[in-house]
Structure 1
Amino acid sequence: LKTLRSYFLRVYIYRLARDELNWTENLPCGLWDCNCEFRQTKGCCCVSSALMQLEEATMLSMLSISEDLHNLNQHIDAIAGGRNVAFTASLTSTPGCFGPFNKNVPIPYQNITLNQGHGYNSALGAFTVPRAGLYSFSYSTYSNMGVAGEHIYQKTQLVRDGQVVSSSWEDNREDSEDSATHTMLLKLHPGNQVYVELVLGRFLCGDTQGFNSFSGYLVYPMQDV
């Protein structure tokens, strides 16, 4: 009776596992073999070989599933962690004027209030893209000449790897102060650099409250842009 129970248990386990793994092979000796089961119980051939094969196949399948889960978790972590990319910085207090210069100069926004992902470098005044995705950038340009009738002469532009993608300018004597803000969406690759530069011959004056600012963040990552 004990031998029969053992046999039926092995057959049940085999059938269960075979159904789970779509096992297509037949059992050696058939599903029932009295000669094998009752006369050669110590070395019965009925299901032992098939169960060993099934055990090996099950182990390989579990290892494959475990590897797939590990890769999936890494992918999820990369996406979730990659979303934490954002920065905002402003020009330090400038009671005088920044500029003019004899060439275009990146504006060094050195007052950093946020730099998640460490993509913004205040020494360069530039944001270096850490991963591919769609990014949003905003920059504000402000100048206060202090006296009515003074010439406001400013022009700034958003630049991606040396290519101008947006600009803001003012050239008049009617206002003593003026400002402008631009926002852009850009598809970017890792290593791309984005910055705001002051155009040659122009200047920004009288910003004592950090109104000249530059910020950006990752809207969502992309596999290929």
Structure 2
Amino acid sequence: MMKFLVVLMLVCSVYAKEIKTLSDQQLCLQDVHAALREITASLTETKVEMRYLQAENKEQAAKLDKQEDQLQDQQTAVEKLEKQLQGKQVAFSASLVATGHKTFGPFDRTTPLVFKHVVTNIGNAYSPVTGAFTAPLKGAYHFEWHIFGYGGEYANAAVLVKNSENIFAAYEYQPSHGASASQGATLLLEAGDVVFLVQAARQTVFDNVNHHTTFSGHLLFTM
């Protein structure tokens, strides 16, 4: 009987250890499942955040593209405005001779004066070959001319001409010594109109390296 009890106690002890082991294993599995649930939830949350970030990045990229397009449009507008402003910058100033000295006239007929020494020609509207200014666009232009000559038999004079119309004349006559005259005019010109200076018959002007006789003009404003 005693031996039986000892064996029974041994069996119960082993069985209790196995139960405890199984219980521990069940608890471990529960912990693993809980950890897996937490990881799954974390991954799900991460995926949601990634989708949100992707959508946000896509929206930001679209905004950036739009801003780049707007910037390009603004740059194009600035370049266009600069070209327009450059087209509206017109001014010139020239004298009859660049070197030496010369008396022009008297001629037996009306003769254009060609101002060879160009110091300013913004817009390239004045031609030192023909002596004519050609309006590049419609607007109000102001012109000035100054003449010099020596007194004697002939008057010193020059007439401003628009296309074929005489506008104003600078005129001075002295029987001796030097004589000078100045004149100015503001004209409304169409694009392509031509303005230049002429000498009438039996008139003279003089110029040398001091540039006494000059012709200048500039655009005041467009119309």
CA distance in 2, matches of 1:176, 1:60: 74
TM-aligned CA distance change 1:199 to 1:66, over 3 Å: same
Query: In the alignment, which of 92, 95, 99 is matched to residue 90 of structure 1?
Result: 95
1:212 CA displacement: 1.0
1:72 paired residue number: 77
Moved more, 75-84 or 155-164: 75-84
Paired residues of 1:83 and 1:219 also in contact (CA < 8 A)? no
Mapped partners of 1:7, 1:110: distance in 2: 75
Corresponding position of 2:169: 167
Q: Which residue of 1 aligns with 2:181?
A: 180
Number of residues of Structure 1 aligned to a counterpart in Structure 2:
176
Alignment of 1:125-204 (within 5 A): 125-145=131-151, 150-171=152-173, 173=175, 175-204=176-205
> Gapped runs of 5+ residues in structure 1?
18-54
Q: Secondary structure at the match of 2:183?
A: strand
For 1:100, the equivalent position in structure 2 comes to 106
Measured on the aligned residues, the alpha-carbon RMSD in Å equals: 3.3
What amino acid is aligned across from residue 199 of structure 2 in structure 1? L
CA distance in 1, matches of 2:137, 2:130: 19
Q: Distance in 1 between matches of 2:120 and 2:54?
A: 63
Deviations 1:144-174 (A, max 9, x none): 13xxxx234233111222222221223453x
In 2, distance between residues paired with 1:12 and 1:59? 14
Deviation at 1:179, TM superposition (A): 0.9
TM-score by length of 2: 0.62
- Residue 216 of structure 1: how far off its partner (Å): 1.9
Identical columns (%): 22
In 2: Cα distance, 1:84 partner to 1:127 partner? 14
Asked if structure 2 preserves the Cα contact closer than 8 Å seen for 1:143 and 1:152, the reply is: no
| Long gaps (5+) in structure 2 | 1-44
Change (3 A) 1:3 1:133: farther
Matches within 5 A, 1:9-28: none
Paired with 1:141 and 1:192, the residues of 2 have a C-alpha distance of: 24
Q: Which residue of 1 aligns with 2:46?
A: 2
Shift in Å, 1:211: 0.8
Instruction: Give the letter for the 2:124 counterpart.
Output: H
With the length of structure 1 as denominator, give the TM-score of the two structures.
0.62
By how many angstroms is 1:62 displaced? 6.0
Q: Which amino acid aligns with 2:49?
A: R
CA distance in 2, matches of 1:2, 1:188: 74
- Structure with more of its chain in helix, by fraction: 2
Q: Which has the larger radius of gyration?
A: 2
How far apart are the structure 1 equivalents of 2:68 and 2:122?
Answer: 38
